[in-house]
Amino acid sequence: MARKETIFQGVATALITPMTEDGVNFDQYGRLIDWQIEQGINALVIAGTTGEGSTLTDEEHKACISYAVERVAGRVPVIAGTGSNHTDYGVQLTKYAADAGADAALIVTPYYNKATQNGLVKLFEEYASACDIPIIAYNVPGRTGVNIEPSTYAKLAEIDTVVAIKEANSNISKIVETFALVGDKLDLYSGNDDQITPLLAMGAKGVISVLSNVVPKETVELCDKFFAGDVAGSAALQCKYTEFVKDLFCEVNPIPVKEAMVLLGYCDPIIRSPLYRMEDQNLAKMKATMQELGII
C-alpha cells in the first residue's frame, strides 16, 4: 500500500482554548490563532487535550471548530479533536468537523472504558465508515489506559481514511517497531515534545506540540533544521528546551501551558474543573525557566 496524503509536515500546535468564567473567549482565541500562523506553525489542532476538549460543552466544542476554520481561512490545516469514549458522540462530532471544513480529525482512543486491540480496529472502522475526513489516530496510554500496539497500527493502515498517528506512547522501542511495520504506510507525528528530534530521526513527519503554544517559531525551527539536514542544530534546540518541556508537564497538561500563555498575555488565568491553577512553587520554577530562555 502506498503512503497516504500527508496532512502537514513540521509543527501542529495543540492549541489552548482561552476561556472566560462563562465560556470560550473568542477574541483571545482569534488573536492566538493569528499569532501562531504568523510565527510559522504548519497546522493547528483545535479542542484536543491541550484545548480542554473533554470539558467543553457540545456547543462550545463545535463553536471552537467552526470559529477556527473560519479564522484560519485556509492558511494552515485545521485538525479537529473529535475523539470520545462515547463513540456515537465522537462520530457525530467528527461529521460536524468535516461539514465545518476541518482538514482532518484527531481521534483519541476511548478513555476510561478503554477497548481491546480488536475493538480499536472496529472503532476506527466506525469513524471511517461514517466520515470521509482524514483521521489521525491518537495514542496516549498515560491518559486512556490502553496502548495501540504496533500490530494494531498495521490493521489501521488498511483503513483508507486513517492516514497518520499521533504517538504519545513514550516507549521508543514500541515506536521503532511501529515504524518498521507501517512507516511506509502512515505518517507519524510525535505527541511528546521531549522526543521531537529522536522521532524525526526515525522518519516522523513532525510533532503535534504543546511547547509550540509558547515558542512556535522556535519549535518550527527545530523541525526545519532537521528537514534541512542540520541534525545537530535540531538536537541542540531539543536540548535547549528540555527543562522548559519538563516544566510544561510537571502538572497535568494543559495546566502549565495555560499559565505560560497567561504570562505572555494571550489568555486569562482560567482553566476548567477538574483542573485547577498551577501550584505556586511549580509556577515560580516555570517562570524562572522562561526568563532564563528569554521567553518573558
Q: Is the dihedral of CA 12, 14, 16, 22 positive or negative?
A: positive
In the predicted structure, residue 196 carries a pLDDT above the cut 70? yes
- Global pTM value: 0.97
3-class secondary structure, 104: strand
pLDDT in tens, 200-231: 999 999 999 999 999 999 999 999 999 999 99
Domains of the chain: 10-229 (3.20.20.70)
Mean pLDDT over the full length of the chain: 96
- Element at 187 (helix H, strand E): strand 187-190
State which H helix or E strand residue 278 sits in: none
Q: Where are the alpha helices (DSSP H) in 39-116?
A: 58-72, 87-100
82 three-state secondary structure:
coil
The strand pairing partners of 136, in sequence order, are 106, 164
Average pLDDT over residues 94-106: 98
pLDDT of amino acid 170 = 87
- State which amino acid sits at residue 125: E
Indicate the length of the chain as a whole number: 296
The interaxial angle of helices 231-240 and 216-227, nearest 10 deg, is 150
Dihedral pair phi/psi, residue 243, rounded to 5° = -65, -40
Q: What are the tens digits of pLDDT across the range 158-178?
A: 999 999 999 999 889 999 999
pLDDT in tens, 1-37: 556 899 999 999 999 999 999 999 999 999 999 999 9
Question: What was the pLDDT predicted at 4?
Answer: 81
> How high is the pLDDT of residue 2?
59
Band (75; pLDDT cuts 50, 70, 90):
very high
User: What's the pLDDT tens digit per position in 50-71?
Assistant: 999 999 999 999 999 999 999 9
Cite the active site residues.
138, 166
pLDDT in tens, 244-295: 999 999 999 999 999 999 999 999 999 999 999 999 999 999 999 999 999 9
Residue range 183-197: average pLDDT?
A: 97
- % residues pLDDT > 70 (the chain): 99
Output the CA torsion 226→252→102→109 (10° steps): 100
> Which pLDDT does position 243 carry in this prediction?
98
Helix 87-100 × helix 117-130 angle, to 10°: 40
Whole-angstrom distance, CA of residue 76 vs CA of residue 8: 9
Please give the Cα distance from 229 to 224 (Å, whole number): 9
- Please name every residue paired with 208 in a beta bridge, in sequence order, or none if there are none: 12
